[in-house]
Amino acid sequence: MSAVIHEEHHHHDGPPAGFKRWLYSTNHKDIGTMYLIFALVMLFIGGAMAMLIRAELYMPGLQIVNPDFYNNLVTDHALIMIFGMVMPAAAGMANWMIPMMIGAPDMALPRMNNMSFWLLPAAAILLLSSMGVSFIPGLDAGTPVNTGWTIYPPLSIQVGMGMDLLIFSVHLLGISSIMASINIVTTILNMRAPGMPLMKMPLFVWSWLFTGLLLIIVMPVLAGGVTMLLFDRHFGTSFFDAAGGGDPVLFQHLFWFFGHPEVYVLLLPSIGVLGLVIPTFSRKPLFGYKPLVFFMGFLFALGLVVWAHHQYTIGMSLGVTTYFMIGTILISIPVGLMIFNFIFTMWRGAMTFETPMLFAIGIILMFSFAGVTGVMLAVVPADLQYHDTYFVVAHFHYALIPGAVFGLYAGVFYWLPKWTGNMYNETQGKIFFWWTTLSFNLTFFPQHFSGLAGMPRRIVDYNIQYVEFNQISSIGGFLFGLSHLLFLYIIIKTVKGGEKAGDKPWEGAQIGTPGLEWSLPSPPPFHSFTTPPTIK
């Protein structure tokens, strides 16, 4: 069997025709492309939900949606953006770039690669139908998933069948992520070209090594947690029911043991992208590569042991609370070092400001801001006031939109010429950067103030004292949403054609890294390195 496949590959260097190319694909570039397209679709679905949320919150009162549907939107917006958008987009970039960066012919486990992608559409259908079941006439689906993405019991026990579909969706998403992570970690550890020790790998590859390991560690815990929830719901167990000797707080620990490292799963790949973009456009090598790698490892380790800072209000003992507070504040050390090293990569460089670089600089500033509000939140006594207010909403959107999403946008603009062979329109790219960045800040900056003034999270209706900030937020939100139509337009236009990009669309793109990906033509051939490249 393997001989036949082997022969086939020799005879046809191109992809098979028709739908089989995609459905049966074992090619890292095709699978990467599918991941990226999937993420783009989910970005618009999750974004549409955010638009509905902001439209409802534009005015006090109930205008567009009922409270349960609102809470369902809040839940699914988070799950879709995290599991449907950021993680697949980062996995798509890993699929595309890592084999090319380390000089491998493909991913280590191509068939598993296919399966880990094709589980995603199934999971997405389950997730969307968990929302959809409430709208099927004649079907008594019970209460919609009105719990927020944290699906805390006992509320999640009350919810109707939407919760079951959501749990199954999380199972599939978990299997998909674990398989993708195993694949990426294996590829990085086993498939590097001769002459590339670990300490010579591009930062993006390092970031994915840690991301993959994190996912392998924490995803099973989430899967276990939601399975226990499923048993509590249907099979008479009472893991989380105090009346049956269970503990509602246990679920919170299981959830956040996954949930906090998950934040780094979202952030690390984008930090890896910055580690390539900033040297490229500063025209000098990365400042402090080794410390960056070691502190990324420190962040990885620390991220696994500080989860309960999401639960300061559950009533832990003084000792435990103090431990989680200090652990959490210490996160500022690796993050601070990353910011420091990125700034000093620009220092004494010869900078130009193409779209990826604009995003990178924006990220340094906005992510630092998320970092300092993060330290504010880490201080337990103060957090007992901030907790579950819009201050937290503002904080994590500052962390995740610049920290994860804009990092991916930087990656898209940085690699789009390599992927398609065409240059995007730089003016349009810059307009997109300014449009998204300004409207993002207009959306989320005021939310710090509504939070301090006492507006809780996840409320469908609010007192009139919060009107001004919510209206500013909503207008910003609509502009932010609208800017993504330009993003879509730029991508489609670049895929279709445009000025040809050379093998090295960015002068000096290889700086500070071996730059194997830039030694290939743009777009690269269907199979990249059939023989291992040599590294100088």
Partner 1 sequence: MSKSKSYLASLSALLLTFFAGTAFAEYKLNFPEPVSPLTSQMYDLHMLTTKIATVIMVIVIAFVVYAILKFRKSKGYEADQNFHKTAFGTWSWILVPVIVLGIDLSIAGSAGDALKQVEDYSEADITVKVTGSQWKWTYDYMDDDVRIVSNMLSKEKAGDNYLRAVDNPLVLPTNKRIRFLHTASDVLHAWWVPEIIYKKDSIPGYINETWTIIEKEGTYRGQCAEICGTGHAFMPIVVEAISQDKYDSWLAEKKTAMAAAAAEASADKTWSKDELYARGETVYNTNCASCHQLTGAGIPGVFPALAGSKIAIGDIVAHIDIVLNGKSGTAMAAWGMQLDDLQTASVITYERNAWGNNTGDAVQPADIKAARK
In the region spanning residues 25 to 64, those forming contacts with partner 1, defined by CB under 8 A, are 60
Pick from 418, 77, 409: nearest CA to 274: 409
Residue ranges in 278-307 that form contacts with partner 1 under rule CB under 8 A: 282-291, 295
The nearest distance, CB 284 to partner 1, in angstroms, is 4
Which of residues 265 and 325 has its CB atom nearest to partner 1 in the complex?
325
Give the binding range for partner 1 (CB under 8 A) out of 9-17, 89-97, 176-184, 382-390: 382-390
Indicate the residue type of 130.
Answer: S
CB of 61 to partner 1, least distance (A): 9
Considering the rule CB under 8 A, would residue 65 count as an interface residue with partner 1? no
* Member of 384, 434, 489, 500 binding partner 1 (CB under 8 A): 384
Cβ closest to partner 1, residue 49 vs residue 91: 49
Q: Per CB under 8 A, does 79 bind partner 1?
A: no
Please tell me whether residue 426 binds partner 1 under the rule CB under 8 A: no
Using the rule CB under 8 A, give the single segment among 98-106, 201-209, 465-473, 484-492 that binds partner 1.
465-473
CB of residue 289 to partner 1, shortest distance in Å:
8
* Closest separation in Å from C-beta 16 to partner 1: 45
Question: In the complex, what is the shortest distance from the CB of residue 32 to partner 1, in angstroms, rounded to a whole number?
Answer: 31
User: Residues 319, 369: contact at Cβ < 8 Å?
Assistant: no
510 touching partner 1, by CB under 8 A: no
Residues 171-230 that bind partner 1 (CB under 8 A): none
Q: Give the interface segment with partner 1, choosing from 207-215, 260-268, 457-465, 526-534 (CB under 8 A).
A: 457-465
Which of 388/523 has CB closer to partner 1?
A: 388
CB 236 within 8 A of CB 301: no
For partner 1, the closer of residues 348 and 496 by Cβ is 348
Name the one range near partner 1 by CB under 8 A: 31-39, 167-175, 222-230, 312-320.
312-320
255 forms part of the interface with partner 1 (CB under 8 A): no
Position 253 contacts partner 1 (CB under 8 A): no
Q: Where in 328-347 is the site for partner 1 (CB under 8 A)?
A: 329-330, 332-333, 336-337, 339-341, 343-347
Of 182, 193, 186, 178, the closest CA to residue 108 belongs to 186
Residue 503 interacts with partner 1 (CB under 8 A)? no
Does 3 bind partner 1 (CB under 8 A)? Our answer is: no
* Residue 176 to residue 117: CA distance in whole angstroms: 7
Binding flag, residue 231, partner 1 (CB under 8 A): no
State the burial class of residue 199 (Cβ atoms within 10 Å of its Cβ: 0-12, 13-18, 19+). Answer: exposed
Q: Is 514 in the site for partner 1 (CB under 8 A)?
A: no
Residue with Cβ nearer partner 1 (355 or 420): 355
Nearer to partner 1, 93 or 360 (CB): 360
Q: Which residues of 80-106 are buried (b: 16+ CB within 10 A; e: fewer)?
A: bbbbbbbbbbbbbbbbbbbbbbbbbbb
For partner 1, the binding residue among 48, 217, 459, 520 (CB under 8 A) is 459
Q: 112 vs 376, which CB is nearer to partner 1?
A: 376
Sites for partner 1 among residues 435-454 (CB under 8 A): 449, 452-454
- Token readout for 476 is 């910003």
Q: DSSP character for 244?
A: G
Residue 496's Cβ-side half-sphere holds a number of Cα atoms within 13 Å equal to 7
- 3-class secondary structure, 382: helix
Rounded-to-integer distance, Cα 373 and Cα 398, Å? 9
* Residue carrying the six token digits 């962390």: 399
- 532 near partner 1 (CB under 8 A): no
Answer for which of 78, 87, 91, 361 binds partner 1 (CB under 8 A) is 361
What does the alpha-carbon distance between residue 31 and residue 482 come to, in Å, rounded to a whole number?
28
C-alpha–C-alpha distance, residues 163 and 167, integer Å = 6
**Site size toward partner 1, by CB under 8 A:** 101
Q: Cβ atoms within 10 A of the Cβ of 210, count?
A: 23
d(CA 7, CA 487): 41
Residue type, 347: W
Q: Residue type at 38?
A: F
Considering only residues 127 through 156, tell me which ones interact with partner 1, judged by CB under 8 A: 134, 140-144, 146-148, 152-155
Please state, in angstroms and rounded to a whole number, the distance separating the CA atoms of residues 460 and 61.
Answer: 8
Q: List the structure tokens of 308.
A: 């309960």
Nearest-5° Cα angle at 441, 437 to 446: 170
Interacting residues with partner 1 between 84 and 123 (CB under 8 A)? none
Instruction: Give ∠ CA 478-481-486 in degrees, rounded to 5.
Output: 125
- Choose between 14 and 381: whose C-beta lies nearer to partner 1: 381
Alpha-carbon distance 339 to 287, whole Å? 11
Among 369, 414, 432, 518, contact with partner 1 (rule: CB under 8 A): 369
Kindly tell me which of 90 and 161 has the beta carbon lying closer to partner 1.
161
Residues in Cβ contact with 400 at an 8 Å cutoff, skipping those fewer than 6 apart = 81, 86, 263, 266, 267
Member of 430, 457, 493, 504 binding partner 1 (CB under 8 A): 457
> How far is 316 from 322, CA to CA, in rounded Å?
10
List Cα–Cα distances, 419 to 2, 85, 411, 496, 522, in angstroms: 29, 19, 11, 12, 7
Shortest distance in whole angstroms from residue 301 CB to partner 1: 14
